[in-house]
Amino acid sequence: MYLRRFGVEKVFGVPGSLIMPIWQNIKSAELVLCSHEQEASYIATGFAKMSKKPVAVLTTGGPGVTNCVSGIAAANLDSVPVIYISGRIALKSEGRGLRQEEGTRDRCYESTEIMKSVTKNSVQIKTIDDAQLKIYQAFKLALCDRRGAVHLSIPVDLQEMELPDKETERWTEQNGNGSYESDGYLQLCKLFHYDRRRLFILGWGCWLTEAYPLIYKLAEYVHAPMLFTVKAYACMDGSDWVLGKVGYGYNQILSSYIRKYNPEEVIIFGSSMGERNFSEEFMKDIEKADIYVYTLDAFSSGKRDGRIIWYDMNFLVDFPVYEEWKFMQSDLNLLRSIKKCREEQELYFQSFSKYSALPKLCRDIRELLDENTTVTADAGNHLLEIAVNLFPRYKKNLFLDDGIRAMGSGICETVGMAFADCKRRYIAVTGDGCMLMNGNVIYVAKKYHLPIIFLVINNSSLGRVRVGQMRSGNYIHSDLDHVDYVCYANAFGIKAFRVDEVGQCIEKLKYSLELGEPVLIEMQISKDEIPVILQAKGVWN
């Protein structure tokens, strides 16, 4: 009932005895069997990212819960609505030390306590009388304000009972306090009434609220160059007003441009200003500017933090596009300087990558992209290279795994994205270490004929760890030699290729994109490649 009521179309999970009554009676949504609970939670996160719709994860209790912790944490970090339902032993059997029991007795653990720190809320349903209200409240909480993950732990005997016929209030999605009388609305309206040098920064909240088309128009109207945080690359396209990237892509050329531009106002949309995007260096570059932050975080809204003022951004969903925006005059000198800065950044990074295969591969992949192709990047050196060297041409071209940044989560999330939109084609750039973590997800891709190319960058090592060990030259347990990923893919019935040159890889990518079915390409590179951004900044973290 509640799956249908709240628009849940997909349920991902793994069955077990403690969840069977619910598992056997899913009627209003498609139930997708996964090969591992962690995989199911990551797939659900990817589905919610691409679709912006709520999604459910269903597992047994005990190990089902502990296996889901990372994926549910990732969903909550990325502010996507995931309802996680786990089973538990019958109420009458609690405290008897049965298999997969939860609680506080004899070194048992309580799943709701484990999940509380990685969700908006985690509760156990203890009686059938309060079940309906708690389920309703959980679904509502996942979808209101800054969205996120919730957890329900339901005893197996309650799963078999009929819910009482009680009425709950009709669901209406909450939009925080973002009314047209809000301070945030009034502040944004001031943009139209006086001229200042402005810099716009788009964060992940622009994707979640679909506010980015409006912000693009607004940036053009007020002549504001645009920067993007790592997760907001999904909103990025070839607009003339796109200046570059903060986070992984921030660099010496961009820093110099911003200092010279000397913005008087920095307006940030949909970001909580985490240090991975807003580095100390970048904050120094904008230290003279007034800063206005429009955020989905209800706890930040209305807060003043020195020169930073926080507002709720939900009103942007219905913010009007004014007629006069159609007759705006472009600042041609500013546009030329933005274009020149982008070109100089590309040359700057190329100067560090003359003898590296991966940066060139990333730049060549860019030439393959059309408006129906999405590239994802898992945690690892390859993510850093994609972040620096791939400037999207169209929105939805690029999704980076930057929430929990767990190895192997990105390939699972890509499978979820393909469930959400199977008309797109996907290139999931991953590493050999990531494949060892969650490579079994290609089983799901094959079973459902999802159009994903798993591009495995094989440097026969845990690449980021190895780079960190380079300072001492003491490589302790970071090698991953002698794994045949082509053979692995073939075992699942998936077509696979092995290449060791960029040109060969691009040819196989072109061929595979036309197939529209799961394919694995193993690209072998040197263990000694160092990501360009680390060379450029001299950072070894």
Yes or no: say if 19 and 159 are a contact pair by the CB < 8 Å rule.
yes
What are the angstrom distances between the C-alpha of 343 and each of 58, 110, 303, 375? 48, 54, 38, 22
pLDDT of residue 353: 81
Beta bridge partners of 10: 30
Beta bridge partners of 11: 31, 56
Please give the chain's pLDDT, 541 residues, in tens. Answer: 678 888 899 999 999 989 999 999 998 899 999 999 999 999 999 999 999 999 999 999 989 999 999 999 999 999 999 999 999 988 776 766 666 677 767 667 889 999 999 999 999 998 888 888 898 999 999 998 889 999 999 999 888 887 776 655 544 444 444 444 567 777 777 776 678 899 999 999 999 999 999 999 889 888 999 999 999 999 999 899 999 999 888 899 999 999 999 999 999 999 988 888 999 899 999 999 999 999 887 566 555 566 788 888 887 877 776 655 555 667 889 999 999 999 999 999 988 887 789 999 999 999 999 999 999 999 889 999 999 998 899 999 999 977 788 999 999 999 999 999 999 999 999 999 999 999 999 999 999 999 999 999 999 898 888 888 887 888 889 898 889 999 999 999 999 999 999 999 999 999 999 999 999 999 999 988 888 888 886 443 3
CA atoms in the 13 A half-sphere facing the CB of 99: 5
Least Cα distance to 216 among 309, 311, 366, 319 occurs for 319
pLDDT of residue 186: 75
Cβ within 8 Å of residue 262, ≥6 positions away: 197, 288
- CA–CA separation, 374 and 426 (whole Å): 5
In DSSP notation, 66-105 reads HHHHHHHHHHHHTT--EEEEEEE--GGGTTS--TT--SSS
Query: Which amino acid makes up residue 113?
Result: E
Q: Strands 265-269 and 373-377: what pairing?
A: unpaired
- CA–CA separation, 268 and 310 (whole Å): 9
Query: Which amino acid makes up residue 369?
Result: L
Cβ within 8 Å of residue 496, ≥6 positions away: 485, 486, 489, 490, 519, 520, 521, 522
pLDDT of residue 65: 95
Least Cα distance to 37 among 9, 63, 19 occurs for 63
Beta bridge partners of 198: 265
In DSSP notation, 466-524 reads HHHHTTTT---S-B--S--HHHHHHHTT-EEEEE-SHHHHHHHHHHHHHHTS-EEEEEE
Least Cα distance to 530 among 330, 384, 375 occurs for 384
DSSP 35: S
User: What are the backbone dihedrals phi and psi of residue 150, each rounded to the nearest 5 degrees, phi first?
Assistant: -130, 160
At residue 469's C-alpha, the angle toward residues 467 and 470, to 5°, is 65
Predicted model pTM: 0.92
Beta bridge partners of 458: 524
Helix pair 252-261, 332-350: axis angle to 10 deg: 160
